[in-house]
Amino acid sequence: MTTLGERRAYRRAVLEALYAAVELNHPEVSGAALRDRLPMPDEDLSAACAYLADAGLITVDWTSHNTPATASLTHDGIYFMEEEEAEEREEEERH
């Protein structure tokens, strides 16, 4: 069973992968690319995407096997990641 820490890390990894794609002007990422890029079981990738979609941070098109076909950050997801990035910079500057 996946631990809370692992689930949080998986969700963070999905957000970071999608945010990196947006920075490269690729607003949508295929599920295959996410699976290749992120070292996590398919069921955990699906769970992370479902959680983030329910939170309004990403949109997901699903395959018939309930795995992500494509995923992209929403406006709220981009804003969330920008805020996280700004907080990390501020923390680094304090130290």
In the chain, domain spans: 4-90
Residue-wise pLDDT tens for the chain (95 aa)?
899 999 999 999 999 999 999 999 999 999 999 999 999 999 999 999 999 999 999 999 999 999 999 999 999 999 999 999 999 999 988 88
The Cβ of residue 53 has, within 10 Å, a number of other Cβ atoms equal to 17
Q: Residue 74 corresponds to which tokens in the numbers above?
A: 């929403």
Considering the four listed CATH numbers 3.40.462.10, 3.40.50.300, 1.10.10.10, 3.40.220.10, the one that applies to the domain covering 4-90 is 1.10.10.10
Predicted pLDDT at 8:
97
Looking at the DSSP bridge assignments, the partners of residue 59 are: 72
For 31, residues 6+ apart whose C-beta sits below 8 A from its C-beta are: 45, 63, 67, 68, 69, 70, 71
